Amino acid sequence: MSVDNIMMQWKKGQFKPVYWLEGEESFFIDEVVAHAEKRLLTEAEAGFNLTIFYGKDADWTAVVNACRRYPMFAERQVVLLKEAQHMKDIDRLESYFEHPMKSTVLVVSYKEKKLDGRSKMAKHIKNVGEILTTKPLYDNQLPEWVTNLAGQKGYALQPKALSLVIDHIGNDLSRISNELDKVIINLSNRKLITEDDIEKYVGISKEYNAFELQNALTQRNLTKCLQIIQYFESNPKALPIQQLLPTLYSFFSKAYLVFGAGTNNENELAQYLGYKSAFGSYIKDIINCAKNYRQQGVEKALLLLHEYNLKSIGIGNVNTSNAGLLKEMVVKMIH
């Protein structure tokens, strides 16, 4: 069961007694919980029929008693159990899951954890309700997801703006959504988000960022690389090294896959790498990286990225600054 399927069921007026939301991606869990809290009942109905518990303070008997009540002046009531991963004796809810009230919609937010699918509780929930298991998005899923998110908000992103957001923020979906909202508030009547908007309202320099460093490395432009690293040194919060190195590692890993793809066609290669389309110049950059470094050079780059990732957390490094580590690394990669 996906978020979209749950939302579609609810829009059609189709409700199950229990929705168990679990897993690593809090954004999707929060999205469903927010919808249940704000949209399943009218404002008048919510006054009598919306009950919210928080796992740390919730008593299992109070949750069950709330679920077993009948709705007042409405077809159904909604009970939300937020942060259920912190609830003591949560397994005591099993008896309710076995025979839930059809007029109650119980939504359980169980973040960063998963039920044992073989347990009786999981089997009871599957019989009467839905289990949504969330996972972080992969890198190749982010462009489409961010594009769709902007579309849902009524806006579009320029390819360079999209790259800036993804390269700087990564797969922190909540932050991406919040930053897009921040940009949109300032756009007035425009519907296209540009790289200038991202620079101005998100605080990402369009000249000195992970994307531009990646591009400079692809072109083996040492001067530009050092200029960008100098900017990072002067602005430590712009892009921490622990965030930058995984981004570069992901990029060079994809360049390495080019050698086994058997094609340099952008669209074919995009599909080979798991992208639905060759968005922006990203796939072209991957091809150019493979061409400029060749297989041995890409392998060396990956080893260096691993080595300097360890050094950035103090393994094999005592006094060198983060900027110093980056300078050492790019010099070795390019030469």
Is residue 279 pLDDT above 80, yes or no?
Answer: no
Nearest residue to 21 via CA among 1, 50, 41, 7 = 1
Confidence of residue 146 (pLDDT cuts 50, 70, 90): very high
**61-99 pLDDT, tens digit each:** 999 999 999 999 999 999 999 999 999 999 999 999 999
Q: Please indicate whether residue 203 or residue 125 has the higher confidence score (pLDDT).
A: 125
Superfamily of domain 3-134: P-loop containing nucleotide triphosphate hydrolases (3.40.50.300)
Cβ neighbours, 10 Å, residue 117 = 10
Q: What is the pLDDT of residue 4?
A: 92
Architecture of domain 207-335: Up-down Bundle (1.20)
Average per-residue pLDDT in the chain?
A: 94
Tokens of 116: 């044992």
Mean pLDDT of 109-132: 95
CA pair distance 184, 193, nearest whole angstrom: 8
Mean pLDDT of 317-324: 90
Give me the residue label for tokens 């080979």: 272
CATH number among 3.40.50.300, 1.10.8.60, 1.10.167.10, 3.30.300.180, domain 137-204: 1.10.8.60
Q: What is the pTM of this model?
A: 0.82
Confidence of residue 274 (pLDDT cuts 50, 70, 90): confident
**171-199 pLDDT, tens digit each:** 899 999 999 999 999 998 899 999 999 99
Nearest residue to 3 via CA among 43, 42, 33 = 33
Is residue 157 pLDDT above 70, yes or no?
Answer: yes
Q: How many percent of the chain have pLDDT more than 90?
A: 83
Under 8 Å CB-to-CB from 304, ≥6 apart: which residues? Answer: 329, 332, 333
DSSP state, residue 93: G
Confidence of residue 331 (pLDDT cuts 50, 70, 90): very high
Backbone angles phi, psi at 14, to 5 degrees: -100, 120
Considering the chain, tell me which residue range(s) the CATH 3.40.50.300 domain(s) occupy: 3-134
Considering the chain, tell me which residue range(s) the CATH 1.20.272.10 domain(s) occupy: 207-335
Confidence of residue 218 (pLDDT cuts 50, 70, 90): very high
Q: What is the pLDDT of residue 278?
A: 62
Give me the residue label for tokens 């320029």: 158
**11-55 pLDDT, tens digit each:** 999 999 999 999 999 999 999 999 999 999 999 999 999 999 999
